[in-house]
Amino acid sequence: MRITHDMHTHTTYSHGLGTIEEMVEQARKIGLSALTVSDHGRSHLFYGVKKENFKKMREEIDALNAKYDDIDIYLSVESNIIGADGTIDIREEEKKYCDWIYAGFHYSFVPKSVKDLFNFLGRNIVSALLPIAPLKRDTRRRNTITYLKMMDRYTLKMITHPGNRCPIDIHAVAKKAAKKNVILEINPRHHHLNARELKAILPYGGQFAINSDAHRVPHVADVEKAIRAAEEAGVPVSRIVNAVEDERPIENNPRRA
């Protein structure tokens, strides 16, 4: 199995180290047919995309798409979940420049309200630090409701690293994602989704994507760990939107050599 489209990459517009053009050049070099640039939503404390940069990124991507006919480049944003009610940090004036929208949970965002600072972000941090079972259970229950509401509020292409640092009932989220056509990501940089979770949610019929979440040029399509998790769980390639069977012979295949 190999990926043909890296759907989750970061550039210098948030905290990646490569420019859009450098990431695209790398993707072409290693033979990808598509690349999506998905920098962090603006509520990220240190490196959210500035609102005036969405237009600039769109223009850069349009120019690169005109320049190259061997790769398709897309613009997305990895929106932060900023409220327990499922609110994410994307505005209409930003969305209009994007081909599609992702959402993911991170620690370093500015919550929607003071209530969300304590009841959503704070609760998740405290629950991760303290070994208190009822708190962990309640946090997981609340987080699950947040993810379900989010899928009702927005048309999302994909949820990045579902459940990472934000424990959820993966069964409930996967069922809803399958119904709403939201892709669940298998991400080699994070612990969720892992092989055990993937195996458990396979019967619900949803789709997956394997992405690098690259923050540096050499890491584009560096997804070996995620491919291993998908294979271990027995996820069929047909359920992974950006993967194909790897038909190249072993000796010509750097990832299997």
Contact positions with Zn ion (CB under 5 A) in 122-141 = none
13 to 52: interface string for Zn ion, x by CB under 5 A: ----------------------------------------
- For Zn ion, the binding residue among 104, 162, 167, 206 (CB under 5 A) is 104
- The C-alpha atoms of residue 100 and residue 209 are separated, in whole angstroms, by 14
Q: In the bound complex, what is the minimum distance in angstroms from residue 83's beta carbon to Zn ion?
A: 17
Name the one residue in this structure whose structure tokens are 């989750």: 8
75 to 94: interface string for Zn ion, x by CB under 5 A: ---x----------------
- Contact range with Zn ion by CB under 5 A, out of 66-74, 87-95, 122-130, 206-214: 206-214
Nearer to Zn ion, 160 or 242 (CB): 160
Tell me 242's DSSP state: T
103 Cβ contact list (under 8 Å, min separation 6): 78, 79, 80, 81, 88, 150, 154, 156, 159, 160
Burial class (CB in 10 A: 0-12, 13-18, 19+), 74: middle
Instruction: Work out whether 213 is an interface residue with Zn ion (CB under 5 A).
Output: yes
Nearer to Zn ion, 50 or 67 (CB): 50
Residues comprising the chain, all counted: 257
- The C-alpha atoms of residue 91 and residue 42 are separated, in whole angstroms, by 10
Is 38 within 8 Å of 78 (Cβ atoms)?
Answer: yes
- The C-alpha atoms of residue 25 and residue 27 are separated, in whole angstroms, by 5
- Contact range with Zn ion by CB under 5 A, out of 102-110, 119-127, 138-146, 223-231: 102-110
Nearer to Zn ion, 6 or 213 (CB): 213
- Contact range with Zn ion by CB under 5 A, out of 113-121, 158-166, 171-179, 235-243: 158-166
- Residues that contact Zn ion, how many (by CB under 5 A): 4
Q: Is the peptide bond before 193 cis (omega within 30 degrees of 0)?
A: yes
- Contact range with Zn ion by CB under 5 A, out of 68-76, 170-178, 205-213, 249-257: 205-213
End-to-end distance of the chain based on CA atoms, in angstroms? 14
Q: In the bound complex, what is the minimum distance in angstroms from residue 186's beta carbon to Zn ion?
A: 13
Q: Would you list the DSSP string of 41-56? A: PTTBTTTPPPTTHHHH
Instruction: Work out whether 188 is an interface residue with Zn ion (CB under 5 A).
Output: no
Tell me 115's DSSP state: H
Nearer to Zn ion, 214 or 230 (CB): 214
Q: In the bound complex, what is the minimum distance in angstroms from residue 13's beta carbon to Zn ion?
A: 12
Nearer to Zn ion, 143 or 160 (CB): 160
Interface contacts to Zn ion, rule CB under 5 A: 78, 104, 160, 213
